[in-house]
A and B are shown apart, each in its own frame.
Chain A
Amino acid sequence: MEAAHTHHGDTHGHAHDDHHGHKPSGLMRWVKSTNHKDIGTMYLWFSFTMFLVGGVMALIIRSELFQPGLQIVQPDFFNSMTTYHGLIMVFGAIMPAFVGFANWLIPMQIGAPDMAFPRMNNLSFWLLPPAALLLITAQFMPGGGAGVGWTMYAPLSTQAGPAMDLTIFAVHILGISSIMGSINIITTILNMRAPGLTLMKMPLFCWTWLITAYLLVAVMPVLAGAVTMTLTDRHFGTHFFNAAGGGDPVLYQHIFWFFGHPEVYIIAIPAFGVVSQVIPAFSRKPLFGYASMVYATASIAILSFMVWAHHMYTAGMPVEAQLYFMYATTLIAVPTGVKVFNWVATMWKGSLTFETPMLFALGFLFLFTLGGFTGLVLSITPVDVQLHDTYYVVAHFHYVMVAGALFSAFAGIYFWLPKWTGKMYNESLGKLHFWLSLIFFNVTFFVQHFLGLAGMPRRIPDYSLQFTEFNMISSIGAWGFGLSQLLFLYVVIKCIRSGEKAPDKPWDGADSLEWTHLPTPAPWHSFETPPVIK
C-alpha cells in the first residue's frame, strides 16, 4: 500500500494545473499525456489505424487468391504480406486495442484517479508508433519485407534480408511496451482499488486484465529471447538455430510457441472480460458464476503454458510427447466450456435486449465457440498431421482472433462509447455494421474450412484449380468485411461529432463503477476521492 499512497500524492502533484478548469490542449496534450483516458484513446485510435493497415494487407492477399495463377503480386511480396498482416494484426491491432480498454476502464472500474504509473503509461504508448513504423518500412528494405511468416521460424528468419532486422527490433519494442503496460495494470489493480473493493468484488474485466498482465510479463521476455537469438544467429556468429553449427531449428519453434500459445490467451482473455461486462448488462442479470469465471480464467492462463507443442505436431517429436500435448490441450476445453456455459446461463431468463454491443457479444459467443471447437479438432494429433498448415488452421484462428477478439472489441467500443464521448452512436448504423460484419466474416472464413479439408496449403500465392470457387467466395467476403469496417469508422466519427447527448447510464443493466458513480462523459480525472464500496 505504501507505493500507492506515495503515488497518489504524485498524481495530484503533477495534475494540479488542470484543476483550474482547463485541460492541456493541442498536440502536446497527446504527446505528453499522463492521463489514462487520453492514453486509452490513443491506444484505440492507434490500433484502429493498424487494423486498417493490416486489413489492406489482408485484401492484397485475398485479391491475389481470387483466382489461381499470379495476377497482382509476386510471390515474395505475397509472403511478406502474410507475414506483416499477422504481426501487425496481433501486435499492432488486437493487443493495443485491449490495452486501450484497460487504460480507459480499469481506473474507473476500481475507483482510482488514474493508472499507478502515468509517465510509464505514456512511454508504453509512444513506443508503439516507432515499432509500427519499423514494420511498415521493412517493406521498403532491399529485397522487400521478410516473408518468413508471423511466427518467424528459423532457418527462414536467419537467412532473410535486412527487413528481418527491422522486424526483430519492432518485436523487441512492442514487447517492452507490453511489459511496461502490464506492470502498470498489475500495480494499479493490486494497490489502487477503492476502500472495500476486494479483488472478488471487481468487475470481471479487471480480473481478466490482471491475469492477462501476468501472462504478458511471463511470456514477452521469452519472445524477446527467441528473436534475440535469431538476431545473434544472423549477425554475431552464434548457431542457436543452425544445425550445421550444432544448433537446432526446432528449438526456435519450442521457444516461440512457449510464448505463442499463452499469447493466444493474452488476446482472448481480455475479450472474455469485455463480453462478461456486456452480456450481464443486456440480460439485466448479474454474471452467472462470477467466482467460477475468475477461477476458470486463472486456470486457462496456467494451462496455456503446458500445451505449446500442439502447434508443432509435424515438426518431429516422440509419440509420448504428441500424446501428452494432445491430452493436455483437449483438457483446456473444460474451463473454456465452463465460461461459455456461464455466459449462456447469464442470459437464461434474463430481460434480453439486443442493442449493438449485445449483438457483437452474441456474435462472439457463437463464433468463438465454433473457433474453439475447430481448435479441439486440431488438437487431435493424427487429424492435425493431415490439416497442419492448411486453410483449416487459417479458418480456425480467424474464428478465434476476428470473431473472438475483434467482435468483443467492437462490443466493448459500442458499449463504452457513450461513456467515453458523452454521446450516443447511431443504433441502426451500429446494427448494420454488426450484420455486415457477421455475414461477410462467415463468407470469408467458413469456406476456408472446406479449402483446408480439401488440402489447400496456407501461405501460398497460387493454388490448384479445384480450389477456385471457395477462394472466390472467400475473397468476395474479405472485401465485404473490409469495406464494412469503414462503416464502423463512420459510426464512431458521427457519434463523436454529432451524436445525441448520452444519459449517465444508457444501459439499465450496467452496474460497474464507471456507470453508477461517474457522470457521462467521464470526467478528466476519474475518482479524485475514492468511492466507498460496502
Chain B
Amino acid sequence: MNGVAGGSTPRKATFIEVLQMVLSAFLGIRKRAEHEKLVVAPLQVIVVGVLAAAGFVVTVISVVRLVLR
C-alpha cells in the first residue's frame, strides 16, 4: 500500500495529531492541507479509531446516565 504522499516533506504524526484526525473524521470536516502535512500509518488510524469509537460510546452512555440520575 502506498503511503501518503504530499508536496512538502510530510512528517510522522504524533498520537495527539492522529486523535485530532480521527475526531475530525467523526465530525466529517478536515482540511486537505492538514491532511497532507502528516504521514499516518494505517495501523495508527485503526487503533486510534477503535479507541475513539469506544470513547464515543462511553461518552454517550455517560450522558444517558447523567440524564437519568
Complex CA distance for A515 and B32, rounded to whole angstroms: 24
Minimum C-beta distance from A306 to chain B (A) = 6
Known interface pairs A200-B35, A306-B56, A320-B68. Does A292 touch B5 (Cβ–Cβ under 8 Å)?
no
Minimum C-beta distance from A217 to chain B (A) = 14
A 448-466 contacts with B by CB, 8 A = none
Number of interchain pairs (Cβ within 8 Å): 76
Are the CB atoms of B2 and A323 closer together than 8 Å?
A: no
Are the CB atoms of A198 and B29 closer together than 8 Å?
A: no
Interface size class of B (residues with CB under 8 A): 20 to 34
* B53 adjacent to chain A (CB < 8 Å): yes
* A296 adjacent to chain B (CB < 8 Å): yes
Which A residues lie within 8 Å of B25 (CB)?
A: 295-296, 298-299
Are the CB atoms of A338 and B27 closer together than 8 Å?
A: yes
Which A residues lie within 8 Å of B5 (CB)?
A: 196, 198
Known interface pairs A306-B53, A306-B56. Does A295 touch B29 (Cβ–Cβ under 8 Å)?
yes
| From B2, B28, B57, B63, contact of A334 by CB (8 A) | B28
Interface of A is mostly: helix
With both beta carbons as reference points, the residue of chain A lying nearest to B49 in the complex is identified as A302
* B4 adjacent to chain A (CB < 8 Å): yes
Interface size class of A (residues with CB under 8 A): 20 to 34
Are the CB atoms of A198 and B4 closer together than 8 Å?
A: yes
B 1-36 contacts with A by CB, 8 A = 1-5, 24-32, 34-36
Complex CA distance for A320 and B36, rounded to whole angstroms: 41
Complex CA distance for A291 and B4, rounded to whole angstroms: 13
Q: List 6 A-B contacts (CB under 8 A).
A: A196-B5, A291-B30, A292-B29, A296-B25, A303-B56, A334-B28
Extra contacts, 17 of them, besides A198-B3, A306-B57, A323-B64 (Cβ < 8 A), are: A198-B4, A199-B2, A200-B36, A292-B28, A292-B30, A294-B30, A298-B25, A300-B28, A302-B26, A302-B49, A302-B53, A320-B65, A324-B64, A334-B27, A335-B27, A338-B28, A338-B29
Residues of A within 8 A of B (CB): 190-191, 193, 196, 198-200, 289-292, 294-296, 298-300, 302-303, 306, 319-320, 323-324, 327-328, 331, 334-335, 337-339
Which are the 7 A-B pairs with shortest beta-carbon distances?
Answer: A296-B28, A335-B28, A338-B28, A295-B25, A323-B64, A291-B32, A295-B30
